[in-house]
Amino acid sequence: MPETGSTRRRTAPTKGDQRELAILDAAEKQLDTIGFDRMTIETITKAVGITRGAFYFYFASKNAVLAALVERTVATLRTEIEAADASGEPALALHRSIDQTRDMWRDHGDVMRAAVELTPTVPAIGECWHSAVTAIRDITRAIAERAGLPDDDGPTGAHAITTALVWMTERSFYQASKAGASLDDTAATLTHLWLNALNSAPDPHPP
């Protein structure tokens, strides 16, 4: 049956959707330009061109905006890593996963650094960030098992090793991003460590 005009209107972004997106985009830009501490509800509303009342219709606080930004960013990261695993070949899948993680840190480093730094004090951000890390661990665990790592919960099994490697990856990219170090070099080091730890085949696509 042909799509009706009303159906098209329902599936198109609403004015509210666009305003919420504008708030998130303005907040992410300000994380880069003025930093989280100087960013306020006033600076965000001024950038978007809305009132404080309109802001509160979408978000309860500045922290709520950041939590939504983190959620948006980690959802994209999880999707990218799931797509990287589509190759089926463990070494290539791991290489692509780390490259996708590097690209997210390059494109959204301000959000991801804030997520790491505020996780201990902002429960909504911590829950979202830890959920993403767990999901990525589960994806890479499946890759590691295909590479021959034991499918068990012991200290040298797939669960323990991929958990340690995922947190190492998070911390390494965080430190490199914060210090302005080369994310490409960090990705190359992490790829080497992952492949050696998993006793996988040599990286078929070195940086």
Q: Read off φ and ψ for residue 154, nearest 5 degrees.
A: -75, 175
> Which pLDDT score, from 0 to 100, does residue 1 have?
45
Distance CA 124, CA 72 (A): 13
CATH superfamily of the 62-197 domain: Tetracycline Repressor, domain 2 (1.10.357.10)
In the chain, domain spans: 1-59, 62-197
Say if residues 102 and 173 touch (Cβ distance below 8 Å). Answer: yes
DSSP string, 117-143: HHTTT-HHHHHHHHHHHHHHHHHHHHH
For residue 89, CA distances in Å to 99, 102, 166, 185, 201 come to: 15, 20, 19, 23, 10
Of 126, 74, 71, 67, the residue nearest 104 (C-alpha): 74
Q: CATH class for domain 1-59?
A: mainly alpha
Sign, CA torsion 34/114/171/141: negative
**Per-10-residue mean pLDDT, the chain, length 207:** 46 76 97 95 97 96 95 93 84 93 96 95 93 93 90 88 96 97 98 84 44
How confident is the model at residue 199, as a pLDDT?
Answer: 67
Tokens of 144: 């590691």
pTM for the whole structure:
0.85
Output the pLDDT for position 13.
60
Confidence (pLDDT) at 163:
95
Distance CA 9, CA 192 (A): 50
pLDDT of residue 174: 98
Q: Which amino acid is at 30?
A: Q
Question: How far is Cα 68 from Cα 56, in angstroms, rounded to an integer?
Answer: 14
pLDDT score, position 22 = 97
What is the rounded distance in angstroms from the CA atom of residue 191 to the CA atom of residue 196? 8
> Which residue matches tokens 């219709």?
57
Residue-by-residue DSSP string for 74-124? HHHHHHHHHHHGGG--HHHHHHHHHHHHHHHHHHHHHHHHHHHHHTTT-HH
Q: Do domains 1-59 and 62-197 have the same CATH topology?
A: no
Q: 38: which DSSP letter?
A: T
Half-sphere exposure of 21 (CA within 13 A, CB side): 6
